[in-house]
């Protein structure tokens, strides 16, 4: 990745973006295309968080979501969600032309191991929305399924290669941690940024006094193995597409050349889960003759209704915006965010503003689960506490970290902060 300096002075800009993942970087890119003076700051290196750990599936198909959205949002807003993500897939296709980033068109499949009726309901939802999805009976996966819903001509790519080409001319400061916001002025260790408008793309929003994001979201960890055939093995690792289980505890599959990326073992941050051990047992059973090249994990923000929060940070913040809660689908979520926030900042009409509004109703069953987790962890007696809002920390044996089940902050064995919303050790 290109390297950028650390801010060491006081500057002025039209738009300040806080957070250097794919959502913030794409927003900065599109604002520059519009001629807007924009500065982006990142507390570490750009793309050092979730963007660098994604499996990078670019698709409008986010699990079996459309039947659910039709029942909760109605047809108009569900159609907005589909169109926003469909346009995001096409936008990646245009931007990736001429960039060596392993961009490949692939069909995307959401499969079920035991519930054919769910698949049929999702197909009916796509029919109501006027989208040509396909229902498959058999799949090239090593375990039994009852079929899959397929959205053809989606995509996969290597996001770091893509962004390294896209960000070279952007106004970026790395190792520039915003410790305090005074109105629209961001205070860093060695400088200040005075902005007309501020966009927060820090994965989990760090400003607690607006928006109630600490109630509206929780975080979920996912694990990945990269598998390759052993030298004398002829293990068939080609799955010819992108696959994800409709069940959050299931597996995901995609290829990167001759390598298979096997995902799964997920759990709510701070809770127990299968992690890499579950994946290794699956690989030993179903992919004999392979070797593990590497293993890694990612963390995602999950919203109350499976739709991201993109727009004004809260109903009371005129010049403060946010993009968060991509529910494990951060590639299309980031593109939708960038296009929508660019239009909002430049005061253009955008048809998708309503469906992603962070101010929509929060009275959802998940709200009560999140509240219960927060109260339980606040009342748990332990010397290890999260500096975000004081919740108890749990030891993650697999990753050797202290994790917060309330809001997903994570810390090293020595107590150094690894994942926000906590801003300190």
> What is the DSSP code string of 111-139?
E-SS-HHHHHHHHHHHHHHT---EEES--
Single pTM value for the model = 0.94
Cα four-point dihedral sign 378, 380, 383, 385: negative
Q: Specify the residue for token string 């994800």.
A: 244
What whole-number distance in Å separates Cα of residue 281 and Cα of residue 278?
A: 5
Which band of pLDDT confidence, cut at 50, 70 and 90, is reported for residue 382?
A: confident
What residue spans in the chain does CATH classification 2.102.10.10 cover? 365-419
> 96: Cβ–Cβ under 8 A, 6 or more apart, which residues?
103, 157, 162
Strand, helix or coil at 400?
coil
Are 70 and 49 spatial neighbours (Cβ–Cβ below 8 Å)?
no
Q: Report the percentage of the chain scoring pLDDT > 70.
A: 100
What residue spans in the chain does CATH classification 3.50.50.60 cover? 10-54+160-216+305-356
What pLDDT digit, counting tens, does each position of 249-303 carry? Answer: 899 999 999 999 999 999 999 998 999 999 999 999 999 989 999 999 999 999 9
Which band of pLDDT confidence, cut at 50, 70 and 90, is reported for residue 381?
A: confident
pLDDT at 373: 82
Strand, helix or coil at 83?
helix
Q: Specify the residue for token string 């055939």.
A: 229
Evaluate if residue 222 carries a pLDDT over 90: yes
- Alpha helices (H) along 130-228: 159-166, 213-216
Which band of pLDDT confidence, cut at 50, 70 and 90, is reported for residue 389?
A: confident
The token duo for 221 is: 């960890």
Are 119 and 146 spatial neighbours (Cβ–Cβ below 8 Å)?
yes
284-304 burial by CB neighbour count: b if 16+ within 10 A, else e? eeebeebeeeeeebbbbbbbb
Number of C-beta neighbours around residue 190 at 10 A: 12
What is the average per-residue pLDDT within 133-150? 96
Residue (of 245, 236, 220) closest to 108 by Cα position: 245
Please count the residues of the chain: 425
Q: Which helix (H) or strand (E) holds 336?
A: helix 330-345
What whole-number distance in Å separates Cα of residue 270 and Cα of residue 249?
A: 16
Work out the angle at residue 326's Cα, subtended by the Cα atoms of residues 316 and 168, and round it to the nearest 5 degrees: 90
Evaluate if residue 376 carries a pLDDT over 90: no
Which band of pLDDT confidence, cut at 50, 70 and 90, is reported for residue 50?
A: very high
Which band of pLDDT confidence, cut at 50, 70 and 90, is reported for residue 100?
A: very high
Are 157 and 103 spatial neighbours (Cβ–Cβ below 8 Å)?
yes
What pLDDT digit, counting tens, does each position of 166-190 carry? Answer: 999 999 999 999 999 999 999 999 9
What whole-number distance in Å separates Cα of residue 108 and Cα of residue 79?
A: 19
Evaluate if residue 377 carries a pLDDT over 80: no
pLDDT at 191: 95
Which band of pLDDT confidence, cut at 50, 70 and 90, is reported for residue 209?
A: confident
> What is the DSSP code string of 71-83?
HHH-HHHHHHHHH
The counts of H helices and E strands in the chain are: 10, 21
Q: Specify the residue for token string 């039994």.
A: 144
pLDDT at 363: 81
Evaluate if residue 232 carries a pLDDT over 80: no
377-396 burial by CB neighbour count: b if 16+ within 10 A, else e? beeeeeeebbbbbebbbbeb
pLDDT at 245: 97
Cα four-point dihedral sign 235, 240, 246, 251: positive
Are 32 and 166 spatial neighbours (Cβ–Cβ below 8 Å)?
no
Evaluate if residue 210 carries a pLDDT over 80: yes
The whole-chain average pLDDT of the chain stands at 94
Q: Which CATH architecture has domain 10-54+160-216+305-356?
A: 3-Layer(bba) Sandwich (3.50)
Which band of pLDDT confidence, cut at 50, 70 and 90, is reported for residue 423?
A: confident
What whole-number distance in Å separates Cα of residue 350 and Cα of residue 113?
A: 39
Cross-strand bridge partners of residue 412? 401
The token duo for 349 is: 């009409």
> 15: Cβ–Cβ under 8 A, 6 or more apart, which residues?
31, 36, 37, 38, 39, 195, 196, 197, 198, 199, 345
What whole-number distance in Å separates Cα of residue 316 and Cα of residue 237?
A: 51
CATH 2.30.30.90 correct for 365-419: no
The token duo for 230 is: 């052993």
Report how far apart, in Å, the C-alpha atoms of 80 and of each of 26, 91, 333, 352 are: 21, 16, 13, 6
Q: Report the percentage of the chain scoring pLDDT > 90.
A: 81
Cross-strand bridge partners of residue 82? none
């Amino acid at each position: 990745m290109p390297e950028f300096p650390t801010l060491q002075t006081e500057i002025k800009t039209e738009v300040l973006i806080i957070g250097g993942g794919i959502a913030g970087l794409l927003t900065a890119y599109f604002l520059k295309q519009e001629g807007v003076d924009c500065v982006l700051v990142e507390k570490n290196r750009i793309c050092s968080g979730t963007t660098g750990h994604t499996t990078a599936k670019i698709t409008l198909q986010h699990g079996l979501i459309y039947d659910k959205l039709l029942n909760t949002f109605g047809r108009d807003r569900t159609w907005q969600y589909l169109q926003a993500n469909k346009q995001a897939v096409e936008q990646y296709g245009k931007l990736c032309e001429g960039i060596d980033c392993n961009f490949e068109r692939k069909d995307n499949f959401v499969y079920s191991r035991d519930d054919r009726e769910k698949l049929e309901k999702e197909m009916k939802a796509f029919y109501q929305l006027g989208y040509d999805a396909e229902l498959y009976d058999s799949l090239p996966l090593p375990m039994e399924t009852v079929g899959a819903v397929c959205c053809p001509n989606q995509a996969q790519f290597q996001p770091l290669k893509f962004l390294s080409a896209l960000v070279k001319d952007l106004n970026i400061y790395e190792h520039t941690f915003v410790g305090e916001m005074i109105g629209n002025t961001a205070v860093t260790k060695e400088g200040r940024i005075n902005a007309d408008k501020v966009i927060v793309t820090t994965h989990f929003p760090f400003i607690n006094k607006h928006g109630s994001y600490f109630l509206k979201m929780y975080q979920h960890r996912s694990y990945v193995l990269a598998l390759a055939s052993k030298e004398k093995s002829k293990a068939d690792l080609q799955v010819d597409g992108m696959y994800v289980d409709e069940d959050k505890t299931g597996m995901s599959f995609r290829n990167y050349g001759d390598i298979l990326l096997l995902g799964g073992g997920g759990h709510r941050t701070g809770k127990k889960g299968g992690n890499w051990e579950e994946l290794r047992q699956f690989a030993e059973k179903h992919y004999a003759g392979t070797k593990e090249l590497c293993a890694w994990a990612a963390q995602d923000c999950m919203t109350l209704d499976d739709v991201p929060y993109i727009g004004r940070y809260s109903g009371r913040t005129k010049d403060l915006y946010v993009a968060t809660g991509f529910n494990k689908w951060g590639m299309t979520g980031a593109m939708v965010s960038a296009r929508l926030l660019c239009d909002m900042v430049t005061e253009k009409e955008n048809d998708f503003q309503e469906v992603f509004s962070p101010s929509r109703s929060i009275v959802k069953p998940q709200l009560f689960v999140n509240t219960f987790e927060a109260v339980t962890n606040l009342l748990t007696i332990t010397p290890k506490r999260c500096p975000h809002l004081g919740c108890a920390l749990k030891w993650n044996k697999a990753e050797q970290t202290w994790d917060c089940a309330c809001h997903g902050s994570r810390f090293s064995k020595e107590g150094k902060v690894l994942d926000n919303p906590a801003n300190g050790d």
